[in-house]
């Protein structure tokens, strides 16, 4: 068993490397860009949302307050007529990229902490590279990759977009696994 504080270096280096790899994927290859489409009649739709007083938050439409209401003839008709969806409204203004990137880096550090915790409790200091790689990679993939499936299951994201997120997660997991294997005690 290895104390988690002894694994600070692989936690930090893995987070830095994942941050760099994700930056390359999103800024150089830009293959996630095609996942997003423009709203039809964007300006009039945005004006209608402004006029309705939509504020930052999560919206589900058509909205029903109870499960009983979900089965009512009126609600069933609204579902059939469509559209049906989820809408995330963020605060107005230019996206706060420094804040978002900082949160992403902190998330990567958190993943590293959990990888270190489980791996450090499971393997000894004398563990071989491949054993560390397998365990660290599995834990990291469960966090970075499998978490993407929720978007298609519950939020209606296209499976093609989720598949890209899972493949990104696999790459981040491999980077994390390699880092932990390399810097293991």
State pLDDT tens for residues 75-133: 999 999 999 999 999 999 999 999 999 999 999 999 999 999 999 999 999 999 999 99
Residue 89 is given by DSSP the state: E
Overall average pLDDT of the 120-148 stretch:
97
Give the bridge partners for 58, in sequence order: 88
The C-alpha torsion from 46 through 47 and 53 to 59, rounded to 10°, is -20
| Nearest by Cα to 2 from 176, 126, 177 | 126
DSSP 8-state secondary structure symbol assigned to residue 88: E
Per-residue pLDDT at 31: 84
Q: Most distant CA pair in the chain: distance in Å?
A: 65
Cα gap 31→119, rounded to integer Å: 33
DSSP per position, 52-65:
HT--SEEEEES--S
The beta-strand segments (E) located in the chain are 57-61, 85-89
């Amino acid at each position: 068993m290895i104390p988690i504080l002894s694994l600070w270096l692989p936690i930090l280096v893995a987070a830095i490397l994942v941050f760099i790899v994700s930056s390359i994927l999103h800024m150089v290859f830009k293959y996630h860009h095609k996942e997003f489409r423009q709203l039809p009649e964007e300006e009039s739709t945005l004006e209608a949302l402004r006029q309705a007083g939509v504020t930052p938050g999560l919206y589900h439409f058509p909205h029903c307050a109870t499960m009983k209401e979900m089965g009512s003839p009126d609600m069933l008709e609204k579902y059939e007529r469509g559209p049906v969806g989820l809408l995330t409204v963020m605060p107005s203004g230019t996206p706060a990229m420094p804040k978002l990137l900082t949160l992403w880096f902190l998330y990567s550090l958190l993943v590293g902490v959990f990888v270190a915790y489980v791996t450090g409790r499971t393997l000894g200091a004398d563990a071989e590279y491949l054993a560390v790689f397998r365990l660290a990679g599995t834990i990291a993939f469960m966090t970075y990759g499998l978490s993407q499936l929720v978007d298609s299951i519950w939020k209606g994201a296209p499976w093609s977009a989720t598949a890209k997120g899972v493949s990104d997660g696999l790459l981040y997991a491999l980077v994390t696994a390699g880092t932990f294997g390399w810097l293991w005690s």
